[in-house]
Structure 1
Amino acid sequence: MTLTALDIANLFITRHQSLNFSNLSLNKLVYFAQVESLRETGKPLYDSEIQAWQYGPVEPDVYHAFQSYGHEHIANPSKKIVNDAYATNIVDIVAEKYGFLTAYDLVTYSHRENSAWKNTYDGDRNKTITNKDILNSDDVKSYPAREGTMLQDMDDIYNRYHNTFRLLGDA
Structure 2
Amino acid sequence: MFDARLIANEILHRAWAEQLEVTQIDVQKILYFLHGHHLLEHRQPLIRSEFEAWDFGPVQRSVYDAFKGFGDQPITELSQKLDPVKRLTSPFPKLVDNAAVATIERHLYKYLEIPSFALVNMTHQPGTPWSRTIEAAKSHVNVGMRIKNNLISSYFEGLQAA
- The normalised TM-score by structure 1 is 0.75
CA contact (8 A) 2:3 2:47 kept: yes
Deviations 1:92-122 (CA, angstroms, capped at 9, x unpaired)? 2222232211110000001112111111124
Length, aligned pairs only: 141
The letter for the 2-side match of 1:71 is: D
Aligned positions of 1:6-155 closer than 5 A: 6-17=5-16, 18-79=19-80, 80=92, 81-122=94-135, 126-137=144-155, 139-142=156-159
Mapped partners of 1:7, 1:85: distance in 2: 15
**Alpha-carbon distance in structure 1 between the residues aligned to 2:157 and 2:24:** 23
Greater CA drift, 114-123 or 69-78: 114-123
State the shift of 1:125 in Å. Answer: 8.9
Question: How high is the TM-score relative to the length of structure 2?
Answer: 0.78
Distance between the aligned counterparts of 1:3 and 1:90, measured in 2? 13
| Structure having the larger proportion of residues in strand | 2
Assess if the C-alpha contact under 8 Å between 1:110 and 1:117 holds in 2: yes
Q: CA deviation at 1:59?
A: 0.4
Structure 2 equivalent of residue 4 of structure 1: 3
- How many angstroms apart in 1 are the aligned matches of 2:77 and 2:30? 16
Give 1:45 deviation, angstroms. Answer: 0.9
Cα 1:96–1:125 shift into 2, 3 Å = farther
Aligned mates of 2:133, 2:66 — CA distance in 1: 24
Unaligned stretches of 5+ residues in structure 2: 81-91
Stretch of structure 1 that moved more, 23-32 or 88-97: 88-97
Question: Alignment RMSD, CA only?
Answer: 2.0
The 3-state SS of whatever aligns with 2:49 is coil
Structure showing greater Rg = 1
Percent identity reads 28
Q: What is the rounded CA distance, in whole Å, between the counterparts of 1:8 and 1:61 in structure 2?
A: 12
SS at 2:77's partner residue?
A: coil
Deviations 1:43-101 (A, max 9, x none): 11121121000100000000110000001111221132333232222222222232211
Partners of 1:54 and 1:125 within 8 A in 2: no
